[in-house]
Amino acid sequence: MTSPHLVLDGVSVVLGGTLILDHVSLAVAEREFVCVIGTSGGGKTTLLRAIAGLLPTTTGSVSLAGTPVLAPTARTAMVFQHFALFPWKTVRANVEYGLRVQGRSEALGRVQRLLDALHIGDVADLYPAQLSGGMRQRVGIARALAVEPELLLLDEPFSSVDAITREKLEDEVLGLWERHQRMTALLVTHDIDEAILMADRIIVISGPPGRITFELPIGLPRPRSTQEIRSHEDYPRIRKLLWDSLEHRDVRLPELT
């Protein structure tokens, strides 16, 4: 086995005097898709922000391909929960953004392919305000993929779109990842089904303060789709395991306080 791509070693984060993450250690292999689930306020997003280098760790370290992450790096790209598109840039300019800031204009040729792959080629000249939530997040995903990151971070990327669009987007993004650009990926979600669909491995974080309380490899065959996964014979068992792991914390909580 090769050395892991992303390593978190005893990461704690204190924000405003509150312990948000408590000694989180995690190793993610190259091209592995890890989903982090947990209830709201459990420190999932903080974990992602620490990995992105947006937030200094109080103790412990984050390293990507052997290099400590102390600030955001061009090797990581992030998809934001609320899209965070530039309202004054067209769809195309938003997708090109990362490449332009990083001075990689020679790679702009791939933008059109990405726009087409995510079905936003027809709206490339529109502004975000003219798009639906689902379309906006397609732009957010294309923007992150355009820089061909080694590590893709997704912060509840589908939680702000409606249920039907959400399922379609999950399948499409998964398909893109499985068939084209298999980079290391870390997706934060509070949706168990989404996590099972996407992940090679699921990490359950319970908090506050956020700790890893459960870990489950998902060995379901790829390529996957929502329909196939849900009718897989192991699906109910995996789902129950994860539910129980989340429940367990809720049961334990009164004793802690």
Partner 1 sequence: MTTATSRLSAPSATAATGRPRRRLTPARRWTLRLASVAAILLVWEIYGQLLNPILLSSPTAVVAAGFDMIADGSLPQALGDSLVVLGLGLTFGVIIGVVLGLLAGRSEALAALLEFPVNALYATPAVALIPIIVLWFGFETTAKVVVVFLFVVFPVFINTMRGVHEVDPELVEVARTFCSNERRMWADLILPSALPYIVTGIRIAIGRALIGVIVAEYYTALSGLGLLIARSANSFQTARMFVPIVVIALLGVVLTALLEWLEHRLARWRETPS
Shortest Cβ 138–partner 1 spacing (Å): 15
Q: Can you read off the two tokens belonging to residue 215?
A: 């870990």
The answer to whether the CB of 114 falls within 8 A of the CB of 95 is: yes
| Tokens 């509150």, residue located | 18
> Mapping DSSP to helix (H, G, I), strand (E, B) and coil, where does residue 176 land?
helix
> Mapping DSSP to helix (H, G, I), strand (E, B) and coil, where does residue 9 land?
strand
Nearer to partner 1, 36 or 216 (CB): 36
Report the alpha-carbon angle 235-238-242, nearest 5. Answer: 135
Shortest Cβ 148–partner 1 spacing (Å): 13
Nearer to partner 1, 161 or 203 (CB): 161
- Buried b or exposed e, range 206-215, using 16+ CB within 10 angstroms: bbebbbbbbe
Nearer to partner 1, 76 or 224 (CB): 76
> Mapping DSSP to helix (H, G, I), strand (E, B) and coil, where does residue 39 land?
coil
Shortest Cβ 11–partner 1 spacing (Å): 18
Shortest Cβ 129–partner 1 spacing (Å): 4
Nearer to partner 1, 142 or 212 (CB): 142
The answer to whether the CB of 33 falls within 8 A of the CB of 177 is: yes
233 vs 15: CA distance, rounded Å: 43
Shortest Cβ 83–partner 1 spacing (Å): 9
Nearer to partner 1, 98 or 210 (CB): 98
Shortest Cβ 72–partner 1 spacing (Å): 5
Report the interface residues with partner 1, using CB under 8 A: 52-54, 72-74, 76-78, 80, 82, 84, 86-90, 97-98, 100-102, 126-127, 129-130, 133, 147, 159-163
List strand residue ranges (DSSP E) for the chain, in order. 6-15, 18-28, 33-37, 59-64, 67-68, 76-79, 151-155, 184-189, 201-206, 211-217
Nearer to partner 1, 90 or 226 (CB): 90
